[in-house]
A and B are shown apart, each in its own frame.
Chain A
Amino acid sequence: STGVAGGNDFQWCFSQVKGAIDEDVAEADIISTVEFNYSGELLATGDKGGRVVIFQHEQESKNRPHLRGEYNVYSTFQSHEPEFDYLKSLEIEEKINKIRWLPQQNAAHFLLSTNDKTIKLWKISERDKRAEGYNLKDEDGRLRDPFRITSLRVPVLMPMDLMVEASPRRIFANAHTYHINSISVNSDHETYLSADDLRINLWHLEITDRSFIFEEPEDPSSRSFFSEIISSISDVKFSHSGRYMMTRDYLSVKVWDLNMENRPVETYQVHEYLRSKLCSLYENDCIFDKFECCWNGSDSAIMTGSYNNFFRMFDRNTRRDITLEASRESSKPRATLKPRKVSTGGKRKKDEISVDSLDFNKKILHTAWHPKDNVIAVAATNNLYIFQDKIN
């Protein structure tokens, strides 16, 4: 079988890593969101410093056809700056909470990026030609005196080095009292939602008057001080098919059939061994970490992050799961990733890592799966790892 999570034929291997290597991580460099566009050609990241970096997939090289093309920097721009709300005496963080691509309708690419308070629509366009030979201004842009013009000429388009420009087209501000945590583009491609902790805003709405509540009844035997925190949902994703929905809470991922709202159809434990550590995780604030989850292109597998730079994949068909690590050590080109295991019992086998040795500062919150291929992007603090399947 060729399941993407630990199937016999399937193996993930390292492709690329982006970002600085030093141990000392600048706060601004911490990646806060990762998103492929609809074709998978572009991969956008946002960071705590308010910057957006877009990577583009290069075509396969003719010289080395056995390698998939690589992702290289396509555009970088400052999306948000820190602001100060003088009325409330509050600083507004510039951290990019979410990036969402709009489907491509012309040559330019559009994306929405948001911080806590302001959503911006950015147009990313390429410019590889330049008009030369203007009448009213000369080559360095200075205006010419109209009275000095003796003849007219038609400007000519001349090739130039490719320039990728990002320009803000819309700014949606002052619409949220609380912190915006997510945005979602509607399937009609004309409207989108933005949500903060209490409310959801519709931009260019179409109001639907039907709503469903998906809720699983609580298991009373597992009640604890932290029941509410660990059942709090940190991410929701529709499947590509539109039939299923996936939710991530602190310890598990659940797949819901949209036709059945009383319980999930599948539940996957991400790191159940943390259940006995909830008190410490509450003290050090790790219990508030909001992990995301994502589907693969065919909805046959799901992926989510964990601690110690581990991330997990679950194959819905084969029911197999795998734990992999995003680390510099396994970052040799085309090196196959070795499955990792956390030992939960008393005896720790070789190559296993015990729960107490896990580094809770190394957390993988953001992951993205290419919409068509088996290529994944995993954000580990300030590094972006790209992995792909082994081409046999």
Chain B
Amino acid sequence: MECAVDAQSLISISLMKIHNSRTQRGGIKLHKNLLVSYVLRNARQVYIKEKYAEIYRMQQYEEVMTVCNEIQELNPLELDAEDADDEEQARAACCGEEASLCGTACHRDAAQQPAAHGRAASALHGCSPLEDDHKEPEPSYYRSCCMEASPVSHCDQFPANSSAHCNKTTVLDLDTHVVTTVENGYLHQDCCCDALQCGQSAQSPAKKRKVEFGCCISDAEEVSDFTAARKRAKREDCSYSSPDYTDTSNISNLISIFGSGFSGLLSRQADLDQICSKQVLASLGAWTRAIVAF
């Protein structure tokens, strides 16, 4: 098995190689660039799958938060404050919950698209939705970016008025050697519905209802500004110990308490199924990992 590799960094590296080949002595080497384009294609496929999984997971989280709030209003529970360091349990619980949510959908989808599921499952570590022990699966060689805070670009962060129509293209300027991501959307808000940004998820989940799946699903190169995004991801990593963390761990605890009965509380299950079946859900290897939401 190959070492765990980041799809996004492979995309950056590949683009740089293609760019550099223009100035290599002797001219562009056709065969080498062809091979590089294969890596680019493979990495892009994985990256897009991870994006879908992430979008789905974010929407799942929205739903969960919405219901949580509704339930809390109805019957405020006195909960023991979670130990701020007990993130594993919180994460595992949330993960397990969402895994079981995905599980039913996953199996349904598998029935509909067995080929896709099978193929993707062999390529990525498959979804193991019904396990009760949420141990970390072996890293597949397509490691999801969700282990670290994802470099979700601004385009993926939906503004409060979620009717934003966001188009994103990436441009590699061959003269100035700059990679820029051009977004024709609305504001570049730091949306707190991004589940991967620590400490902010508690803040106003109820606002974020709609998910624009049309956004960012384009055939153009889906390459965002990785360097900046990875730096941002690193900063976010450090905020685990922020005071907001206590709140989010309380929330995850809520979810774990409701357990399997929780799925019945979701009013938009049908919608989610539909969304599930549209995406390549075999990439739900992301589900079985710790959901770095808190």
Binding site for B on A (CB under 8 A): 85, 88, 90-93, 95, 116, 178-179, 181, 196-198, 220-221, 223-229, 232, 275-279, 282-283, 285, 288
Q: Is the interface of B mostly helix, strand, loop or mixed?
A: helix
User: CA of A93 to CA of B29 in the docked complex: distance in angstroms?
Assistant: 12
Binding site for A on B (CB under 8 A): 1-3, 5, 7, 10, 13, 17, 25-27, 29-32, 34-35, 38-39, 42-43, 46, 122-123, 141-142
Q: Which residue in chain B gives the minimum CB-CB distance to A275?
A: B2
CB distance from B214 to the nearest CB of A (A): 28
Query: Is A276 a contact of B1 with CB atoms below 8 Å?
Result: yes
User: CA of A163 to CA of B31 in the docked complex: distance in angstroms?
Assistant: 41
Q: Which residue in chain A gives the minimum CB-CB distance to B40?
A: A225
User: CA of A90 to CA of B30 in the docked complex: distance in angstroms?
Assistant: 14
CB distance from B274 to the nearest CB of A (A): 30
A-B pairs under 8 A by CB, number = 76
Q: Which residue in chain A gives the minimum CB-CB distance to B5?
A: A279
Query: B residues within 8 A CB of A95?
Result: 26
CB distance from A62 to the nearest CB of B (A): 49
User: CA of A224 to CA of B142 in the docked complex: distance in angstroms?
Assistant: 8
Query: Is A288 a contact of B26 with CB atoms below 8 Å?
Result: no
User: CA of A61 to CA of B65 in the docked complex: distance in angstroms?
Assistant: 91
Query: A residues within 8 A CB of B46?
Result: 225
Please indicate which of the listed interface residues A221, A276, A282 has the most CB atoms of chain B within 10 Å of its own CB: A282
Query: Is B35 a contact of A229 with CB atoms below 8 Å?
Result: yes
Query: A residues within 8 A CB of B35?
Result: 228-229, 232, 288
With beta carbons under 8 angstroms apart, the residue of B17, B26, B32 that contacts A90 is B26
Closest 6 CB pairs of A and B: A228-B38, A93-B26, A90-B27, A197-B30, A197-B31, A225-B42
A220-B122, A225-B39, A282-B13 given; A91·B3 CB < 8 A: no
Q: Which residue in chain B gives the minimum CB-CB distance to A221?
A: B122
| 5 cross-chain CB contacts under 8 A | A92-B27, A181-B31, A198-B30, A228-B38, A228-B39
User: CA of A283 to CA of B36 in the docked complex: distance in angstroms?
Assistant: 11
Query: A residues within 8 A CB of B30?
Result: 178-179, 196-198
Query: B residues within 8 A CB of A91?
Result: 25-27
